Chains A and B, each alone.
Chain A
Amino acid sequence: MALIEITNLDRIYNTSAVPVHAVRDVTCNIEKQEFMAVVGPSGSGKTTLLNIIGGLDKPTSGKVVIDGIDLSTMPQSKLVDYRLGHIGFVFQAYNLIPVFTARENVEFIMLLQGVNKKERENRAIDLLKQVGLSERINSRPAQLSGGEQQRVAVARALASRPAFVLADEPTANLDTESAESLLDLMEELNDKYVMTFIFSTHDARVMRRARRIVSLQDGKIVEDKVVTPEKKQ
């Protein structure tokens, strides 16, 4: 059984006079430990697809089954808990809590899960070490570079011990060096911890490193290919 099974997924927005068909009849399976990029031009439905996989949006029709659980029928209140326990999110603009230190940002997710203080602290420090920020655990986001902030965001995404990580344009705001370094880190986590990563991106740097690329156009999958990632420059 695949980790994520997406079947005949449709998402139509009726907010304007003309309905917008953001995702059309998408069907695909995502296995454990995939390092997959969803690519396509702006408006192709990448973010909508990721939002539906992440339980942030509901499909108009079709279904998303994760580890045997159908998210499309799950009520909102349960979805929040599901996201907290099973999905890690990395956002384009890092979106850390600005008043918290790196450690506290990572800890916060565990606080929401009800993890005790001691364990929270230890795990947060471990995670920050794994992402190469052992020296910056007490720095606030404003004191960190963009690349460092995104590493904290990755540590935060992993804090809940999720089944997979959804990363929406994670390198869009990073310079090449930081982007490559972040991708190295994600690759390492993917290999070492069997962590599944799903990116939405139109960044060539990410596409070069992905092992599977799903291309969307007008909400439809136009190409789904397994690729051999390029060695890093």
Chain B
Amino acid sequence: MYISLSWRNIWRNKKRTIIVASSVFFAVILAAVMRSAQLGSYSYMIDSSAKLFTGYLQIQGEDYWEKRSLDESIVIDKTTFDKLTKIPYVTHITPRLEAFALISHETTTKVSQVIGIEPILEDKITEVKEKLIKGTYLNNDSRGLLMGSGLAGMLKSDIGDSIVIYGQGYHGQIAAAIVPISGIVKLPFKAMNNAMILLPLPLAQEIFSCEDRITSLPILIDNIHHLEEVEESVNQLLVEGQKSMLWNEMLPDLEQNIEVDNVSGIIMLAILYIVIAFGVFGTVMMMVSERAKEFAILISVGMRRRRLLLILAIETFMVSFVGVVIGILGSMPIIFYLVHNPINLSGEMAELYDQLSIEPILNFSAQPSIFISQALVVLIIAIVTIIYPLLFVRRLDPAKTIRG
């Protein structure tokens, strides 16, 4: 009966209830979609960066990150590699040998990043095979290379052309080779597309005198939430001179950008909800003030104040939650649609993403926490708002109020 009374009470002034519920409804939709876009983008940024460069974590030589020298390369034996692949939540591992070298074709020379890859394993992580626009993909026995289409354009080279690679190998040895172009790939970012070539790992190790050596072993996992656990297991397999690094240590700019964006997003949501909170508070104030005499009568006839307060609390929650429930139900199809149909960005936003070496796609997230947090925020608003009726009912003098 109390619930029935509360429910009917909130509809005593239909327009007012509809206005408050609508404001909560729109706030929830806006907040849920905003938050979904933020969390979706962050997770996409981290995932893309992990897949493109670093993995969620990677094994390196102790000083490799600072020196970026082949002298800091490491050897991961087959047993350790197999153990690493068996760590729970690890989905893919791929060894890489990264170096910088001069790349020449005819009269043009450019500085390029040369990466030795295990073609099959690498494709599982970076899907580089899909980016092939000309020629053939590599295998471990290939003697050719893949070149970014931008770099190929700058060198005026094409499939079959021989490219001179000239650089410094392990412990100062000269690295020099002539390798034909097997395929041209269109890499997603200018910086990569204009300056990157990929070689089969054995060929790269041969050219740079790094037999069995690699510079990094990126590791992908199924979910970022398992990172800590995986890191612990990985660290147990490391030997002296090796260390593991997490994505956020390798990509501090990305982490910082996410943090700044996250904070600004939360501030926006807070402002939105503060406005809503005042709306709900105003309504509750009116609901309570205009019914002072009714409350006095109820107390007079024997209703305990705490029961009256319970009814008012139920009313406050109902007014808020009508909007939240409809808002969550309304935002779900929008968010699920956007999750499956992410927005391709263009213009300045696209450039910004490009600077971060992330594909310019605005992804959305459908994490349950997005919806749960909206309900929690409105719950908090309702709890804070109930303070007014609490004080009002506590101070109410029934005899005086009835007398008017």
Asked if A pairs with B, the answer is yes
Q: Could you mark each residue 2-20 of chain B with 1 if its beta carbon is under 8 Å from any beta carbon of chain A, else 0?
A: 0001001101100000000
Task: Please tell me if the beta carbons of A80 and B8 are within 8 angstroms of each other in the complex.
Answer: no
What is the bound-complex CA distance between A77 and B293, given in angstroms? 20
The reply to whether the CB of B391 lies closer than 8 angstroms to some CB of chain A is no
Task: Please tell me if the beta carbons of B299 and A98 are within 8 angstroms of each other in the complex.
Answer: no
| A77 to B: closest C-beta gap in Å | 8
Task: Please tell me if the beta carbons of B294 and A97 are within 8 angstroms of each other in the complex.
Answer: yes
The reply to whether the CB of B124 lies closer than 8 angstroms to some CB of chain A is no
| A57 to B: closest C-beta gap in Å | 5
Q: Which of A23-75 contact B (CB under 8 A)?
A: 47, 51, 54, 56-57
What is the bound-complex CA distance between A56 and B302, given in angstroms? 10
The reply to whether the CB of A112 lies closer than 8 angstroms to some CB of chain B is yes
Known: A51-B399, A56-B398, A97-B5. A89 touches B12 (CB 8 A): no
| B10 to A: closest C-beta gap in Å | 9
Q: Which residue of B lies closest to A84 (CB)?
A: B302
Q: Could you mark each residue 2-25 of chain A with 1 if its beta carbon is under 8 Å from any beta carbon of chain B, else 0?
A: 000000000000000000000000
Q: Quick one: which of A51, A99, A109, A113 contacts B5, CB cutoff 8 A?
A: A99
Q: Quick one: which of A81, A97, A99, A107 contacts B302, CB cutoff 8 A?
A: A81
The reply to whether the CB of B383 lies closer than 8 angstroms to some CB of chain A is no
Task: Please tell me if the beta carbons of A112 and B293 are within 8 angstroms of each other in the complex.
Answer: no
| B332 to A: closest C-beta gap in Å | 32
B300 surroundings in chain A (CB, below 8 A): 54, 56, 83, 89
What is the bound-complex CA distance between A85 and B301, given in angstroms? 9
What is the bound-complex CA distance between A168 and B398, given in angstroms? 14
What is the bound-complex CA distance between A85 and B1, given in angstroms? 20
Q: Could you mark each residue 78-119 of chain A with 1 if its beta carbon is under 8 Å from any beta carbon of chain B, else 0?
A: 001101110101010001011110001001110111000000
Q: Could you mark each residue 371-404 of chain B with 1 if its beta carbon is under 8 Å from any beta carbon of chain A, else 0?
A: 0000000000000000000000000001100110
Task: Please tell me if the beta carbons of B297 and A91 are within 8 angstroms of each other in the complex.
Answer: yes
Contact residues on A (Cβ < 8 Å of other chain), bracket: 20 to 34
User: Binding site of B, secondary structure by majority: helix, strand, loop or mixed?
Assistant: helix
What is the bound-complex CA distance between A89 and B302, given in angstroms? 10
B5 surroundings in chain A (CB, below 8 A): 97, 99-100, 108
Question: Number of residue pairs across A and B with beta carbons under 8 Å?
Answer: 61
What is the bound-complex CA distance between A187 and B8, given in angstroms? 35
B8 surroundings in chain A (CB, below 8 A): 99-100
Of the listed residues A98, A99, A108, the one surrounded by the most CB atoms of chain B closer than 10 A to its CB is: A99
Known: A83-B302, A84-B301, A99-B12. A104 touches B294 (CB 8 A): no
The reply to whether the CB of A156 lies closer than 8 angstroms to some CB of chain B is yes
| B398 to A: closest C-beta gap in Å | 6
The reply to whether the CB of A160 lies closer than 8 angstroms to some CB of chain B is yes
What is the bound-complex CA distance between A85 and B303, given in angstroms? 11
Task: Please tell me if the beta carbons of B301 and A156 are within 8 angstroms of each other in the complex.
Answer: yes
Task: Please tell me if the beta carbons of B304 and A80 are within 8 angstroms of each other in the complex.
Answer: yes
The reply to whether the CB of B86 lies closer than 8 angstroms to some CB of chain A is no
Q: Could you mark each residue 118-152 of chain A with 1 if its beta carbon is under 8 Å from any beta carbon of chain B, else 0?
A: 00000000000000000000000000000000000
Q: Quick one: which of B302, B398, B403 contacts A47, CB cutoff 8 A?
A: B403
Task: Please tell me if the beta carbons of A83 and B301 are within 8 angstroms of each other in the complex.
Answer: yes
Task: Please tell me if the beta carbons of B12 and A98 are within 8 angstroms of each other in the complex.
Answer: yes
What is the bound-complex CA distance between A83 and B403, given in angstroms? 18
| B300 to A: closest C-beta gap in Å | 6
The reply to whether the CB of B307 lies closer than 8 angstroms to some CB of chain A is yes
What is the bound-complex CA distance between A113 and B307, given in angstroms? 12
Q: Which residue of B lies closest to A85 (CB)?
A: B302
What is the bound-complex CA distance between A87 and B9, given in angstroms? 26
B299 surroundings in chain A (CB, below 8 A): 80
Q: Which residues of A contact B (CB under 8 A)?
A: 47, 51, 54, 56-57, 77, 80-81, 83-85, 87, 89, 91, 95, 97-100, 104, 107-109, 111-113, 156-157, 160, 168
8 closest A-B pairs by beta carbon, nearest first, are A84-B302, A99-B8, A56-B399, A95-B297, A51-B399, A83-B302, A57-B399, A111-B1
Q: Can you name 23 A-B residue pairings with CB atoms under 8 Å?
A: A56-B402, A57-B399, A77-B304, A80-B304, A83-B302, A84-B301, A84-B303, A91-B402, A95-B293, A95-B294, A97-B294, A97-B298, A99-B5, A107-B1, A108-B1, A108-B5, A109-B301, A109-B302, A111-B1, A112-B301, A112-B302, A113-B302, A157-B301
8 further interface pairs, Cβ-Cβ under 8 Å (given A111-B1, A112-B304, A160-B302): A81-B304, A83-B301, A83-B302, A95-B297, A99-B12, A109-B301, A112-B307, A113-B302
Q: Which residues of B contact A (CB under 8 A)?
A: 1, 5, 8-9, 11-12, 293-294, 297-305, 307, 398-399, 402-403
